[in-house]
């Protein structure tokens, strides 16, 4: 039975002598624990605030939505107040400059929101809007784009409205939503006068209800849900809003927690590396203890107790800083939050962070710490007997298994699915494996091929990479993985933007006009051609819904068991299709063939997009019945197509053959190409002025919007990835300080042998240069690999290397390493050898 009192006494005695170094060991995990606690606490506070503010998020007790007018509803007579909204995408123009932008027009009638407010500048803007007349509330981003202000006029369709307020916040809407689709509120009474709601317009109708206090809305609407399902009416209650919003932000919180967890793992690698150096320096002391009769178990427990103490200290510090970090997070995530987030200490998150920090510090420290079990008393005379290798110690394999199990278990806790947890664990192992392999190859190559013709400072700095007790591998792993995370996010953002800009090359269209009525088609074509612009595509579009698949209609599908039914969504969605007998440049036939009308009797064969069809369990030969404005049309699937939806083109999930839909009600799309942004703006203003109902998308707007969205998203993720870089820097600093005494001895030896301060400084600077270069290059190589895989297999876009950006990142990381190394070593270089010896 171990004497725990004696073990604690020995641990504290050694702890007092090594407190500064042991603090460095665990400083690496402080950042990771802080990030975990901050995200966990923030997520808990956000969940509570979503629950508390759910009514303000929805703005009503019940919302009904459909793409058709709602008509009379059974809850109309029960509600104490109702409001209605019609919303659709349309062009809004600023007459003063002629500028225009595709926006979300929301025609409002009634006192919605019943809970919360439409926050405006000035504060009286909402009241002025509701006082009557042709007035509008406009999203602040849209006013900024137009260079407009409150009191100016905007044109929506055929009607000019006076802006009474700049919208700052709308119930349930986030900043990112406003970036994608800025909203303009107008009074419902002027909707018809705008002339914007015509055939082909994609219009959503909403009705908002307020019921008496304490009404159980979910119970109230149960008798009506089946009929609403048949009528394709979507019903949302406050509880629905809580669930959907909470689920979305829980997923975000879990993802960010994984990013923080990676920072923690990097810190753990630093802990393991530092403890490894510590143990090697303690082998002689361990051998003496063994000579005095102390068992290997007790020796292990002495040093393990020290690690536990410092692990606990590091975890508590991390939890403390993580709690403070909560103050910053609402500002970081402001564009994504639909509610005001309050600050509160989550003791559950704090406790979780402390326990996690203590556990991982002990778990990762055990890997090198187990060496002390194999130190024999003979090591006092023969130090080479005091070591053991991984292959010879099965307990170390057990610790490695424990580490992998912990990584899997933690990721499973966050992701909730075993397969995703395995994927994340595999990613971590792969990333560390790649970086470890690169480091080992570099060390082997330097030892094997170091040219003797190199100058002495260069040879010595390279040789220092594999000096005894070096931490080259851990530094490359930690700094490299942090660099990889930051650069992968940056490179991927650059990839997506470059792909959008690449679409604007010489032979690609960059402007799309839609919602063109048949009566307007010829006039629009003439206006486009009068500017010497090419009409690259002219496409007719027919809207329809799906009635049945292989004779199974929506109601029959509801009664089928889960393993046999089709997706409910496919019956509810509206299909927009076109007709032609040929493929366009963005399409490739993968299965079957395009079959013209009459080729096989009177049967009509349509072509589906392959991914959509397979995702919904459709096969070639299936019978599909569509409802085209009340007229059923029976068709069969004749082929599948691969469609590149990232091209500026009219791409469709369903393609009909010519000769079937020509007489159906339809609208048209024209695609053209402008030479530059100025011409695009002129064409857009000209078309919108003449045909207010026509909506226009130009590639310049798409790229600008995409750049803004990706900028906001990447800022959040890079903020979290910064913790990995910070951890890498802490590992570097602790490594430099831990090796300070070793560098002192080397400096004294070199100075005694006649080397001056300049040579010693040059050796150290070159060593830091090589360390920084190898770490940053390893991370950049890994990030290029990750970006290539994501580009090719997830986003289906060609890989383009951001070489200049990679160079900047390499220079920044390398320079940081050199500066930190120089700051740590300047005192040693500048002092005479005897002064250093007297001081130590």
Helix (H, G, I), strand (E, B) or coil at 108: strand
Q: Which residue has the tokens 């624990």?
A: 33
Same domain? 707 vs 821: yes
Look up residue 232 and give its two tokens: 């394709």
In whole angstroms, give the CA distance from residue 554 to residue 570.
Answer: 9
Helix axes 238-291, 296-325, angle to 10 degrees: 150
In a domain, 512, yes or no: no
In a domain, 53, yes or no: no
Least Cα distance to 162 among 172, 181, 148 occurs for 148
pLDDT digits (tens, 9 = 90+) for 341-396: 777 788 888 888 899 888 888 888 888 888 777 776 665 655 555 554 545 677 88
Q: Are 279 and 372 in contact (CB under 8 A)?
A: yes
Q: Are 622 and 549 in contact (CB under 8 A)?
A: yes
Same domain? 277 vs 404: yes
Contacts of 633 (CB under 8 A, 6+ apart): 544, 604, 625, 626, 627, 660
Q: What percent of the chain has pLDDT over 70?
A: 87
CA torsion 719-725-730-736 (nearest 10°) is -160
ω into residue 16 within 30 of 0, thus cis? no
Look up residue 288 and give its two tokens: 């003496």
Q: Label each residue of 537-565 as H, E or C.
A: EEEEEEEEEEEEECCEEHHHHHHCCCCCC
pLDDT digits (tens, 9 = 90+) for 536-594: 889 999 999 999 999 998 888 888 887 778 887 888 888 999 999 999 888 899 999 99
Domain count along the chain: 4
- The mean of the pLDDT values for the chain is 82
Phi-psi region of 200 (alpha: psi -120 to 50; beta: other; left: phi over 0): left
Burial 718-735 (b: 16+ CB within 10 A, else e): bbbbbbbbbbbbbbbbbb
Section 2-14 average pLDDT: 76
pLDDT digits (tens, 9 = 90+) for 123-148: 899 999 999 899 999 988 888 888 88
ω into residue 189 within 30 of 0, thus cis? no
Q: Are 218 and 237 in contact (CB under 8 A)?
A: yes
pLDDT attached to residue 395: 81
Same domain? 85 vs 194: yes
Q: Are 424 and 411 in contact (CB under 8 A)?
A: yes
Same domain? 763 vs 781: yes
Helix (H, G, I), strand (E, B) or coil at 517: strand
pLDDT attached to residue 635: 95
Q: Are 61 and 268 in contact (CB under 8 A)?
A: no
Of 214, 230, 256, the position where a domain reaches its end is 214
Of 416, 446, 477, the position where a domain reaches its end is 416
**Confidence tier at 107 by pLDDT (50, 70, 90):** very high
In a domain, 523, yes or no: no
In a domain, 690, yes or no: no
In a domain, 41, yes or no: yes
pLDDT digits (tens, 9 = 90+) for 477-530: 777 877 887 787 778 777 766 766 655 555 677 788 888 888 899 999 999 998
In a domain, 524, yes or no: no
For the full predicted model, state whether its pTM sits above 0.75. no
In whole angstroms, give the CA distance from residue 274 to residue 282.
Answer: 12
How far the first Cα of the chain sits from its last, in Å, is 40
In whole angstroms, give the CA distance from residue 333 to residue 307.
Answer: 36
Across 33-47, 622-636, 732-746, 780-794, the highest mean pLDDT is recorded for 622-636
Is the dihedral angle over the CA atoms 231, 233, 239, 241 positive or is it negative?
A: positive
**Confidence tier at 618 by pLDDT (50, 70, 90):** very high
The DSSP output letter for 693 is T
Return the minimum-mean-pLDDT range out of 99-108, 251-260, 322-331: 251-260
Same domain? 432 vs 408: no
CA torsion 139-140-145-148 (nearest 10°) is 100
In whole angstroms, give the CA distance from residue 527 to residue 277.
Answer: 77
Same domain? 566 vs 656: yes
Burial of 396 (0-12, 13-18, 19+ CB in 10 A): buried
**Confidence tier at 118 by pLDDT (50, 70, 90):** confident
Same domain? 267 vs 396: yes
Same domain? 119 vs 14: no
Same domain? 188 vs 317: no
Q: CA 321 → CA 32, 342, 354, 685, 823, distances in Å?
A: 10, 18, 12, 53, 26
Of 363, 395, 416, the position where a domain reaches its end is 416
pLDDT attached to residue 382: 57
The DSSP output letter for 576 is E
Domain assignment of residue 108, given as a range: 62-214
In a domain, 54, yes or no: no
Same domain? 618 vs 547: yes
pLDDT attached to residue 424: 82
Same domain? 355 vs 428: no
CB atoms within 10 A of CB 133: 12
Look up residue 364 and give its two tokens: 């990762």
Same domain? 745 vs 812: yes
In whole angstroms, give the CA distance from residue 385 to residue 379.
Answer: 6
Least Cα distance to 517 among 87, 196, 88 occurs for 196
Look up residue 729 and give its two tokens: 């820097």
Is the dihedral angle over the CA atoms 271, 273, 274, 279 positive or is it negative?
A: positive
In a domain, 795, yes or no: yes
For 535, the enclosing helix (H) or strand (E) is strand 535-549
pLDDT attached to residue 838: 54
């Amino acid at each position: 039975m171990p004497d725990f009192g004696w073990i604690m006494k020995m641990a504290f005695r050694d702890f007092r002598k090594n407190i500064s170094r042991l603090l460095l060991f665990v400083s690496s995990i402080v950042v990771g624990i802080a990030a975990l606690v901050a995200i966990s606490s923030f997520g808990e506070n956000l969940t509570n605030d979503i629950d508390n503010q759910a009514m303000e998020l929805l703005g009503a007790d019940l919302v009904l939505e459909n793409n058709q007018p709602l008509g009379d509803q059974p809850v109309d007579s029960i509600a104490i107040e109702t409001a209605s909204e019609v919303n659709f995408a349309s062009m809004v123009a600023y007459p003063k400059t002629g500028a225009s932008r595709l926006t979300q027009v929301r025609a409002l009638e009634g006192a919605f929101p019943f809970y919360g407010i439409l926050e405006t500048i000035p504060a009286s803007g909402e009241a002025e809007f509701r006082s009557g007349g042709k007035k509008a509330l406009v999203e602040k981003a849209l006013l900024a784009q137009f260079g407009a202000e409150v009191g100016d006029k905007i044109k929506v369709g055929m009607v000019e409205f006076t802006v009474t307020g700049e919208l700052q916040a709308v119930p349930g809407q986030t900043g990112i939503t406003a970036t994608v689709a800025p909203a303009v509120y107008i009074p419902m009474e002027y909707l018809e006068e705008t002339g914007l709601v015509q055939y082909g317009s994609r219009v959503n109708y909403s009705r908002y209800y307020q019921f008496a206090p304490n009404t159980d809305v979910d119970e109230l609407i149960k008798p009506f849900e089946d009929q609403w399902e048949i009528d394709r009416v979507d019903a949302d209650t406050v509880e629905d809003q809580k669930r959907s919003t909470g689920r979305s932000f829980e997923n975000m919180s879990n993802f960010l927690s994984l990013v923080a967890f990676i920072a923690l793992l990097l810190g753990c690698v630093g802990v393991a590396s530092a403890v490894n150096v510590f143990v090697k320096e303690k082998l002689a002391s361990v051998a003496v203890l063994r000579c005095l009769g102390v068992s290997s178990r007790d020796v292990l427990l002495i040093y393990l107790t020290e690690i536990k103490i410092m692990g606990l200290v590091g975890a508590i510090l991390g939890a403390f800083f993580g709690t403070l970090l909560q103050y910053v997070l609402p500002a970081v995530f402001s564009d994504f939050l639909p509610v005001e987030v309050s600050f509160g200490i989550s003791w559950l998150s704090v406790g979780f962070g402390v326990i996690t920090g203590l556990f991982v510090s002990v778990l990762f420290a055990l890997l090198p710490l187990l060496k002390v079990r194999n130190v024999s008393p003979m090591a006092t005379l023969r130090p080479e007997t005091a070591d053991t290798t991984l292959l010879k110690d099965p307990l170390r394999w057990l610790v490695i298994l424990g580490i992998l199990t912990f990584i899997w278990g933690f990721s499973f806790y966050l992701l909730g699915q075993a397969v995703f947890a395995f994927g994340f664990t595999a990613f971590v192992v792969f990333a560390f494996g790649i970086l470890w392999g690169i480091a080992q190859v570099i060390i082997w190559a330097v030892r094997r091929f170091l040219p003797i013709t190199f100058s002495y400072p260069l040879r010595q700095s390279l040789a220092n990479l594999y000096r005894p007790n070096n931490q080259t591998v851990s530094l490359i792993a930690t700094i490299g993985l942090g660099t990889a995370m930051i650069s992968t996010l940056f490179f991927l953002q650059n990839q997506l933007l470059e792909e959008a800009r690449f679409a604007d090359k010489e032979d690609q269209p960059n402007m799309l006009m839609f919602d063109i009525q048949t009566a307007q088609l010829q006039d629009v074509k003439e206006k486009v051609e009068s500017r010497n612009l090419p009409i690259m595509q002219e496409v007719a579009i027919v809207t329809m819904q799906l009635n049945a698949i292989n004779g199974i209609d929506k109601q029959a599908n509801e009664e089928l068991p889960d393993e046999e039914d089709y997706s409910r969504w496919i019956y509810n969605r509206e299909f927009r299709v076109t007709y032609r007998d040929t493929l366009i440049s963005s399409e490739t036939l993968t299965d079957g063939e395009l079959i013209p009308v009459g080729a096989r009797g009177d049967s009509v064969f349509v072509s589906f997009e392959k991914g959509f069809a397979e995702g919904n369990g459709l096969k070639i030969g299936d019978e599909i019945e569509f409802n085209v404005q009340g007229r059923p049309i029976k068709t069969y699937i004749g082929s599948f197509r691969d469609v590149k939806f990232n091209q500026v083109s009219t791409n469709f999930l369903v393609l009909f053959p010519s000769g079937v839909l020509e007489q159906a009600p339809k609208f048209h799309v024209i695609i053209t190409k402008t030479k530059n942004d100025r011409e695009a703006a002129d064409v857009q203003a000209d078309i919108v002025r003449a045909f207010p109902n026509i909506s226009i998308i130009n590639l310049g707007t798409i790229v600008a919007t995409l750049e803004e969205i990706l900028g906001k998203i990447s800022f959040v993720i890079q903020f979290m990835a910064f913790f990995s870089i910070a951890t890498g820097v802490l590992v570097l600093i602790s490594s430099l300080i831990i090796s300070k005494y070793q560098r002192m001895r080397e400096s004294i030896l070199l100075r005694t042998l006649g080397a001056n301060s300049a040579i010693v400084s040059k050796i150290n600077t070159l060593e830091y240069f090589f360390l920084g270069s190898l770490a940053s290059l390893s991370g950049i190589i890994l990030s290029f690999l990750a970006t290539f895989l994501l580009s090719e297999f997830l986003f289906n876009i060609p890989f383009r290397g951001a070489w200049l950006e990679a160079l900047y990142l390499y220079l920044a990381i390398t320079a940081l390493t050199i500066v930190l190394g120089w700051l740590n070593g300047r005192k040693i270089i500048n002092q005479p050898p005897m002064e250093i010896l007297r001081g130590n």
